[in-house]
Amino acid sequence: MLAAFMRDGLPDSVLFQRSVGKLVQDLAKPGTILRIYGEMVELLAEEGNFCAARRLEELWNELAARYSFTLLCGYSAAHFTTPLARAALAGICDAHTHVQRSAMDSLAEWLIQSQERLADGPVESRRPASAHPMLCTGPWNISRPW
């Protein structure tokens, strides 16, 4: 599905709406409970393409403003161990209404606690901040061809 809307290492909003948006529109009928698992953002983070992951989160949020669904995303904490990746984590967390971590995952616990020390409170209680600029410069904005 990523190949349907990725161009030059970033999600194309028009192509995203034509592919994913159309699918969600068809499935999000009144009276239906629609839950979506967002594996695509994890694949982008695994490649180190955090800018694309953040942009994809924003496209999902734009879609959620039009249709009723619950989006569940999962990120491996191992993708955010470098200082630049930890900076990208803040923007990705800001794109979510809720952030949860397992107390059994000590790396995730440490990463989120690091973000909370730098932020205005617990990551779990922050709402998405659309005014936050995307941090799309730096060596972590990489991708490989699909």
> Model confidence over 91-128: pLDDT tens digits?
888 887 877 777 777 877 777 777 666 665 554 444 44
Give the residue with greater pLDDT, 84 vs 18.
18
Query: Which of 126, 62, 74, 76 has the alpha carbon at shortest distance from 97?
Result: 126
Half-sphere exposure of 4 (CA within 13 A, CB side): 12
pLDDT of residue 146: 27
Question: Between 49 and 75, whose confidence is greater?
Answer: 49
Query: Tokens 């690091």 identify what position?
Result: 114
- pLDDT of 14 > 90? The answer is yes
Q: How far apart are CA 111 and CA 64, in angstroms?
A: 27
Q: Is the pTM of this model over 0.75?
A: no
Q: Residue 10 class from Cβ within 10 Å (0-12 exposed, 13-18 middle, 19+ buried)?
A: middle
pLDDT in tens, 130-146: 333 333 332 222 232 32
| Tokens describing residue 55 | 């942009």
- Note whether 93 and 130 are within 8 A (CB): no
Residue 115 · residue 74 · CB < 8 Å: no
With a CB cutoff of 8 Å and minimum separation 6, the contacts of 133 are none
- What pLDDT score does 91 carry? 81
- The pLDDT of residue 122 is 54
Which is nearest to 51 in space by CA: 6, 16, 20? 6
More confident residue, 113 or 11: 11
pLDDT higher than threshold 90 for residue 6: yes
